[in-house]
Amino acid sequence: MSALLPDFSLAHPQSADEAVAQRVAAPAGRYLAGGTDLIVNMRRGLVDADLLIDLSGIAELASLSVDEAGLTIGAGVTLAELATHSVVLKDYPAIAQAAVAVAGPGHRSAATIGGNLCLDTRCLYYNQSEWWRRSNEYCLKFRGDVCHVAPTGDKCLAAFSGDLAPALLVHGAEAEIAGLQGRRRLPLPELYRDDGAAHLTLAPEELLIAVHLPAGSRRSAYEKIRVRGAIDFPLAGVAVSVVDHENPARLKVAITGTNSRPFLVEGLDDLDAGQLGEAEFVRIDKAVQKQVSPVRTTTIAGHYRRLAAATLARRLAASLAGGSRERHSRA
């Protein structure tokens, strides 16, 4: 083992099928895209991979295309490209806002959409050096048998902290997956489960190929809170979208940073974004507070993050609702 990284081999597949085959042959292997999260975790001893499968040679992963069906974003598209793409900025603004909110410019030039969607869950007791974790006893997510956040529980509560997922969720995204049985597509919520130790539903060899977004007019926005104004992961992140061409104008809200999975807030389907008043904003606030479950996985108290998520949802909904009222008044 070197001073920074354990020894590993590097493979350079030219197709998704070849990459999947290499992963099957190497049970301890990992897919490598931008590496902005994976390499850090390897240096900290959280990931022990004997083979890294470099995905940069697979052309379809780097493709970003638009047709009458909508937008297809390859999993290897960088966040920097996503944040500046003209169609994304115009028709999927929350996605551009989420992409530009990730880390710093250097990270975004390397980090990919697939990596952000498959980001490992995070916790104050997990994302530490090996000597720190050993000195303070290992946790349920890594080598231990107790969750230090909730010692009496039997479930890992590490939080998912990717910025892109909620923005994609409110735009009705689907994920395209490659595996031993070929290709399949699934609604993006089905990519995740509420388990901090194993939050992805993918089989070990399965590879995220692309994200598909439907065409159609939908206004949206994303906002997050974090300790610092740059670099940091979200303590809570919220995306909201409004579909103006439907009657009523449907409102969607999605959350990241508080639970072990990103999720769409339930119970808001009957709200008309063009007719939101104080009672409706209270409903949004209560729905978010009820469904988020932030615990002490960061240095910031869970109660604060709960209130912050609700405040962000209410603020974004109010901003987008104003546009809906203007459109309805002109109709």
pLDDT tens for each residue of 88-101: 999 999 999 999 99
User: What domains sit in the chain, N to C, each tagged with a CATH number?
Assistant: 1-57 (3.30.43.10), 59-117+160-330 (3.30.390.50)
List, for residues 231-269, the tens digit of each pLDDT value.
999 999 999 999 877 777 899 999 999 999 999 999 999
**What is the DSSP code (8-state) at residue 112?**
B
Q: Is the pLDDT of residue 323 over 90?
A: no
Task: Please say whether the beta carbons of 69 and 63 come within 8 A.
Answer: no
List, for residues 5-31, the tens digit of each pLDDT value.
889 999 999 999 999 999 999 999 999
Predicted local distance difference test score (pLDDT) of residue 1: 40
Q: Give burial (CB, 10 Å; 0-12/13-18/19+) of 201.
A: middle
Q: What is the mean pLDDT of residues 169-187?
A: 98
- Most confident range (mean pLDDT) of 44-48, 152-156, 166-170 is 166-170
List, for residues 110-136, the tens digit of each pLDDT value.
999 999 999 999 999 999 999 999 999
Q: What is the mean pLDDT of residues 37-55?
A: 96
pLDDT band at 2 (very low <50, low <70, confident <90, very high): very low
**What is the DSSP code (8-state) at residue 154?**
S
Predicted local distance difference test score (pLDDT) of residue 158: 98
Predicted local distance difference test score (pLDDT) of residue 4: 78
Rounded to 10 degrees, what is the CA torsion of 240, 241, 242, 243?
-160
Predicted local distance difference test score (pLDDT) of residue 300: 96
- Percent of residues, the chain, with pLDDT higher than 70: 96
Strand, helix or coil for residue 283:
helix
Ramachandran sector of residue 35 (left: φ over 0; alpha: ψ -120 to 50; beta: rest): left
For residues 115-150, one letter each, b for 16 or more C-beta atoms within 10 angstroms of the residue's C-beta and e for the rest, the string is bbbbbbbbbbbbbbeeeebeeeebbbbbebeebbbe
Task: Please say whether the beta carbons of 120 and 86 come within 8 A.
Answer: no
- ∠ CA 162-176-52, rounded to 5°: 65
How far apart are the C-alpha atoms of 72 and 85, rounded to whole Å?
12
Ramachandran sector of residue 103 (left: φ over 0; alpha: ψ -120 to 50; beta: rest): left
The pTM assigned to this predicted structure is 0.95
